[in-house]
Amino acid sequence: MKMTPKNQFWLGLLPNYFKKIGLVISIAAIITQISLVYISQNEPYSQKEIIKTMCSSLFTVGLFFFAFSKEKFEDEMNYFIRMRSMALTLLIVIITGILSPILYLVFNEVPTIRETQRFATTVILQYIATFYIQKMMK
- H or E segment and range at residue 23: helix 18-39
Q: Inter-axis angle of helices 45-67 and 113-137, to 10 degrees?
A: 30
β-partners of residue 14 are 69
- Residue 51 in 3-state DSSP? helix
44-84: per-residue pLDDT in tens?
A: 777 778 888 889 899 999 999 999 998 888 888 888 898 99
Q: Contact at 8 Å (CB) between 69 and 13?
A: yes
> What pTM, to 2 d.p., does this model score?
0.75
3-46: per-residue pLDDT in tens?
A: 545 555 556 788 999 999 999 999 999 998 888 877 777 777 77
